[in-house]
Amino acid sequence: MKIATWNVNSLKVRLAHLLQWLEANPVDVLCLQETKLTDDKFPVSEINSAGYQVAFSGQKTYNGVAILSKLPLTDIVRNNPLFPDEQQRILAATIGGVRFISAYVPNGQAVGTDKYAYKLAWLSALREWLAAEMRVHAEGGLAILGDYNIAPEDRDVHDPVAWAGQVLCSDLERAALTALADLGLSDAFRLFEQADKSFSWWDYRQLGYQKNKGLRIDHILLSDALKKRCTACAIDRIPRKWEQPSDHAPVIATLD
């Protein structure tokens, strides 16, 4: 089976891209972030027509997550039960015996701001919740896919000197991501040989994509049961070249 994650930066604007991408990449499960739609405006019929069932949790203007699946989604949970939050950034569902979580980690804005503190608190609560979820779903496996807004290492940053200590790259954020990994979650992308300067996001400004000035901040984390089944992971840069693209590219993992 193939599973994927994509921050679409407005599903309203990107619906045509999503449908075009699914046609070329008929993945079994796709987690979306930044849908930026209230639930009453979610394009259910268009997605159903493409052959997918869908669960979603949205809000006006900001955030919003969804999970598309060819198989039924059960036990749907919105948000982290340990972290009451008006911002819609977490959606979980069980599909074919596997627990999937679509996650949109807060951006953090800048180190030292309130938003940065919120990001760290959010990640700490995520870890607490995941520790329990992984025990419950140890056998079938758990995959948490999304926009983590953290570049794990300097090799995930186009200019590590310029980004040193900045939000998305700071030590505390990286430590929070490592703490998730320490629960027994593996970065699918790094299970395999990858090209240097592989990124999943590029700034709209300064010809960021054309100059490959990017960051790798979108990740697929797999529990051990799924890590054993994972045979490939790649970033698909193709839709970043389309007209009026999302600033993020999809990440796809293949499971036996």
Partner DNA sequence: ATGGCCATAGTGTATGGA
Cα–Cα dist 171/226, whole Å? 28
Could you write out the DSSP letters of every residue in 140-157?
Answer: T-EEEEEE-----SGGGB
In the residue annotation, 248 being an active-site residue is answered as: yes
Q: Measured from the CB of residue 196, what is the shortest distance to DNA in angstroms?
A: 19
246 closest CA partner among 24, 2, 36? 36
Tally helices (H) and strands (E) across the chain.
6, 14
Amino acid at 127: R
Q: Check residue 36 for interaction with DNA (CB under 7 A).
A: yes
Q: Check residue 197 for interaction with DNA (CB under 7 A).
A: no
Which residue of 4, 55, 185, 217 would you call a contact of DNA, by CB under 7 A? Answer: 217
220 closest CA partner among 127, 130, 141, 145? 145
Q: Check residue 107 for interaction with DNA (CB under 7 A).
A: yes
| Nearer Cβ to DNA (175/207) | 207
Q: Give the position of tokens 């891209």.
A: 17
| Nearer Cβ to DNA (117/136) | 117
Which residue of 45, 61, 139, 210 would you call a contact of DNA, by CB under 7 A? Answer: 61
Contacts to DNA by CB under 7 A: 7, 9-10, 12-13, 34, 36, 60-62, 106-107, 109-110, 115, 147, 149, 167-168, 201, 203-206, 215, 217, 244, 247-248
* Residue list, annotated binding site for Mg(2+): 7, 34, 147, 149, 247-248
